[in-house]
Structure 1
Amino acid sequence: MNNKLNVVELFAGVGGFRVGLEKADKKLFDTVWANQWEPSKKTQDAFDCYNSHFPSSENCNDDISKVPNKTFEDMNIDLLVGGFPCQDYSVARSLSKEKGIEGKKGVLFWEIKRIVEVSHPKYILLENVDRLLKSPSKQRGRDFSIMLATFRDLGYIVEWRIINAAEYGSSQRRRRIFIFAYDQSLAYAERQLDFSTGEILLKEGFFAQTFPVKEELYKNREAFVELPSDIVEISDTFSFEYHQAGIMIDGKVHTVHPEALDPQAVTLGDILQDESEVDEKFYLNENQIEKFAYLRGPKKIERTSKEGHKYIFSEGGMSPTDSLELPGRTMLTSEGTTNRSSHVVEVNGRKRFLTPIECERLNGFPDNWTATMGNRMRYFCMGNALVTQMIEKMGNTIKEIDAAETRNIAQISLNLH
């Protein structure tokens, strides 16, 4: 019996999913194909970084929409992973009516759907920004509902949860939504149906097992809904307020707002390099110190809109430097620039940016993981990356699920003989 899970990594970036899964079990998780392509860029820094750590002819640097179905049909994919962009998922009836629905061109979620349709992996693990649950602003929850209905129609049960990495052992307060879908014909799916959806969300489910939560919900936030059977109807008129966690089985949704059981944070101070290793260029000069004092200070500024009316732009103040006693704030792609969102730390009386190595540590990557590229791109890639420790934890849960699945298949085989 195959003792490996064939993994396909989409929108791979610098390999956060793969790093996390291999931390969980390098022998079990076998990445057989990966895709990373940055449109309209001559230099493919993220792909070059990925390929330098995982050199393989199966690493694809092409537009995913141009990769033919046959590539995935022949792969025997067990686990499909990817951090895909948050886009407009609206759909329409095709003109001929025969092809069903058509999603907007260039929306990468439809590439996930296409690959799942032709390969039907056992498990799917996706990551996105937490605002996905609320988009678009004029029809809250529509886009996520389209995604859930898509997986429903493909034969999957879906769990999701917004995870704040700092509540589960990371040095960064990074909130991201993770989506775990599993084939409803699996023994694991049948076992889950023995529980109520409430039990799944708070104790027995994929995320509750991986990231324990309190029994009491935050402000009693809980809701139920059944998705319309027609995805075009969802796209046109459906809206719903999703909470931080939830499950969808056969189109029936149960969503709640749980709280972390026992937050265990690593602080920003814990991941700093020794100052003797920090290059002088990362320290702020007087002009930068003055600029940061303004950027991070409170302000009220009169501005004029495009239409010509005046208004007051106001912004609250923030600490002049980031506390070394707390986890870092969410890292953005502008990290390392003179920007309000960049981290500024003060060590031995001197203020400085985080180094690229410290940014790698904030996401749980090995030191110098992104050393194949210049510093600006190193910061950019870490601002886009996921926290690999979270993937490691989820990888360990998938490992347990699949071990039980394998035992179940072996038992069925034994009974047949």
Structure 2
Amino acid sequence: MFDLTKKNGNKPNFIDLFAGAGGLSEGFVRAGCEPIAHVEADTAAACTLRTREAFHVLRGRGDLSGYFAYLSGQLSRDEFYSLAFGPRSSSVINAEIGAKSLSHIFNQLDIQIGDRKLDLIVGGPPCQAYSLVGRARSEQKMVGDKRNYLFVYYAEFLRRYRPKFFIFENVVGLLTAREADGTRYFDMMWSLFKDLGYTVEYQVIAADEYGIPQKRKRIILVGRRGKKDGFFPELEKIPTDFLVEDAIGDLPSLRAGKGVPSAILLENPPSRWLAESGLLSADKSTTWHEARPHNPRDLKIFKKVVNRWNKNGERLSYNDLPESLKTHKNRSSFLDRFKVVAADLPASHTVVAHIAKDGNYYIHPDNAQNRSLTPREAARLQTFPDDFYFEGASGKPSRTSAFKQIGNAVPVLLAEKISQKLVENWS
């Protein structure tokens, strides 16, 4: 593993705000950073964070048998947490960040940070308010949306804890989203961070240029306390000879409505990409390889979409479907609402949280399976490790919640690369 030890001999510590399922955090942990706390409003995602924290606790003890016992149903979630944490509580704070909750969150963070100096804050507010797709559907509703101003609360954490660095991740639409008077939110946050004593640098990063099997563009802002510049973690672009097939092709064949969220053993040999990525589980198992059911009409459409791609390398427009299969009145926009995740391309199209609503935009490339992607296949495209389990809020598995968490995440291996380069510029 890359040595992230700072010059004083300690490894960088961090807190993760608006943490989601922890894709960004997982990448930093893989690179050797120490998480102090995570703050997340969604209960299911907060449970996922607790489960992953427990995984890392047990791995640190050199014994993951309790974790795999939990995934296979031999331990309840409470029993698993008790095994990992004992009498102490998890470091995950399940709270919505806002004016009413700041004092409570600060009190909890103060306890967890103790007398340590916080090195780094990572995270990014929910992106729906800046999303180009969301704005295209309802530009007027986005103006004045309180989610547009969550960066103000992010800044309050910088003001209180004064970390040396922060990393703020969001959608590219942040660069163009504006207030009613035309002021860019990006300019507002830039000025705010500067007023707090931070120099800020940013880049738009395309994940597929760095070995991630998915086209996903995000803006990454990195702030450093003080006036020194030239610290942005410059990532080395990676030419790839891998395909989407290498990311998902080893998983067991499934038909629609089949599979399980619990642990299964992988019997097929992994691709070279998987073997080299470090995503495979120590016990060769994985979870959440469960396909959602589909109605007969959608399954017929799926076959046509996959056939068009496999035969001609073309995307099927909604208007190309037979009238008997069309149910949408809108025939002028969103004509690619049915889309195959092409196995023969180096990267899939972007996995987003809408995958939780239906799988029509994420059709599996194998017509023999005739279905949409499973949560595990989507997680593979987001480079989550196979032993990463996505929780439901109630303690029972929720495929919808798993999809939502995966679609909202930062690709883990991209976060790892950012972390590695950031610490190179630490001094």
Using structure 1 for the length normalisation, give the TM-score: 0.65
Aligned residue in 1 for 2:348: 328
Alignment match of 1:15 (pick from 8, 22, 28): 22
Say if 1:336 and 1:354, in contact at 8 Å, map to a contact too.
no
- Report the alpha carbon displacement of residue 291 of structure 1 after superposing the two structures with TM: 4.5
- Report the alpha carbon displacement of residue 264 of structure 1 after superposing the two structures with TM: 3.2
Aligned residue in 2 for 1:386: 410
* Residues 153-168 of structure 1: pairs in structure 2 closer than 5 A: 153-168=195-210
* 1:277-296 Cα deviation digits (max 9, x unpaired): 53652376642223455995
**Range 274-283 or range 325-334, more displaced:** 274-283
**For residue 63 of structure 1, what is the amino acid of its counterpart?**
E
- Report the alpha carbon displacement of residue 356 of structure 1 after superposing the two structures with TM: 1.2
- Report the alpha carbon displacement of residue 315 of structure 1 after superposing the two structures with TM: 4.8
* 1:293-344 Cα deviation digits (max 9, x unpaired): 59952439xxxxxxxxx99734555886332111111012122654543x11
* Residues 299-318 of structure 1: pairs in structure 2 closer than 5 A: 299=319, 313-316=332-335
Aligned residue in 1 for 2:275: none
* Residues 163-174 of structure 1: pairs in structure 2 closer than 5 A: 163-174=205-216
Alignment match of 2:102 (pick from 67, 87, 91): 67
Q: Provide the rounded CA distance (Å) in 1 between the counterparts of 2:11 and 2:247.
A: 33
Q: Provide the rounded CA distance (Å) in 1 between the counterparts of 2:146 and 2:251.
A: 49
- Report the alpha carbon displacement of residue 141 of structure 1 after superposing the two structures with TM: 6.2
Aligned residue in 2 for 1:121: 163
Alignment match of 1:290 (pick from 300, 320, 323): 300
* 1:377-417 Cα deviation digits (max 9, x unpaired): 11111111111111101110122122xx2xxxxxxxxxxxx
- Report the alpha carbon displacement of residue 267 of structure 1 after superposing the two structures with TM: 2.4
* Residues 18-417 of structure 1: pairs in structure 2 closer than 5 A: 18-25=25-32, 29-38=33-42, 44-55=43-54, 56-65=89-98, 66-68=101-103, 69=106, 75=113, 76-86=117-127, 107-136=149-178, 142-184=184-226, 189=228, 192=229, 200=230, 205-207=231-233, 209-211=234-236, 263-264=239-240, 266-274=242-250, 276=252, 278=254, 280-281=256-257, 282=291, 286-292=296-302, 297-299=317-319, 313-316=332-335, 321-326=340-345, 327-335=347-355, 338=358, 340-341=360-361, 343-347=362-366, 349-367=368-386, 369-372=388-391, 373-402=397-426, 405=427
Residues paired across the two proteins, number: 307
Say if 1:72 and 1:118, in contact at 8 Å, map to a contact too.
no
Say if 2:254 and 2:369, in contact at 8 Å, map to a contact too.
no
Give SS of 1:3's match. Answer: coil
- Report the alpha carbon displacement of residue 131 of structure 1 after superposing the two structures with TM: 0.2
Q: Provide the rounded CA distance (Å) in 1 between the counterparts of 2:245 and 2:155.
A: 42
Say if 2:204 and 2:220, in contact at 8 Å, map to a contact too.
yes
- Report the alpha carbon displacement of residue 4 of structure 1 after superposing the two structures with TM: 2.4
Q: Provide the rounded CA distance (Å) in 2 between the counterparts of 1:123 and 1:275.
A: 39
Distance verdict in 2 for CA 1:47–1:315, change over 3 Å: closer
Structure number, greater radius of gyration:
1
Distance verdict in 2 for CA 1:79–1:277, change over 3 Å: same
Distance verdict in 2 for CA 1:148–1:278, change over 3 Å: same
- Report the alpha carbon displacement of residue 148 of structure 1 after superposing the two structures with TM: 0.6
Task: Return 5+ residue gaps in structure 1 as ranges.
Answer: 39-43, 90-102, 193-199, 213-261, 301-309, 406-417
Distance verdict in 2 for CA 1:37–1:176, change over 3 Å: same
Q: Provide the rounded CA distance (Å) in 2 between the counterparts of 1:316 and 1:284.
A: 20
Say if 2:152 and 2:189, in contact at 8 Å, map to a contact too.
no
Say if 2:20 and 2:46, in contact at 8 Å, map to a contact too.
yes
Percentage identity across aligned positions? 27
Say if 2:255 and 2:370, in contact at 8 Å, map to a contact too.
no
- Report the alpha carbon displacement of residue 265 of structure 1 after superposing the two structures with TM: 6.7
Which of 1 and 2 has higher RCO (CA within 8 Å, sep 6+)? Answer: 2
Q: Provide the rounded CA distance (Å) in 2 between the counterparts of 1:311 and 1:345.
A: 25
Aligned residue in 1 for 2:394: none
Give SS of 1:323's match. Answer: coil
**For residue 367 of structure 1, what is the amino acid of its counterpart?**
D
**For residue 232 of structure 2, what is the amino acid of its counterpart?**
F
- Report the alpha carbon displacement of residue 348 of structure 1 after superposing the two structures with TM: 6.0
Say if 2:353 and 2:406, in contact at 8 Å, map to a contact too.
yes
Say if 2:21 and 2:390, in contact at 8 Å, map to a contact too.
no
Q: Provide the rounded CA distance (Å) in 2 between the counterparts of 1:315 and 1:370.
A: 32
Q: Higher strand fraction: Structure 1 or Structure 2?
A: 1
Say if 2:118 and 2:163, in contact at 8 Å, map to a contact too.
yes
**For residue 223 of structure 2, what is the amino acid of its counterpart?**
A
Aligned residue in 1 for 2:63: none
Q: Provide the rounded CA distance (Å) in 2 between the counterparts of 1:159 and 1:153.
A: 15
Say if 2:51 and 2:389, in contact at 8 Å, map to a contact too.
no
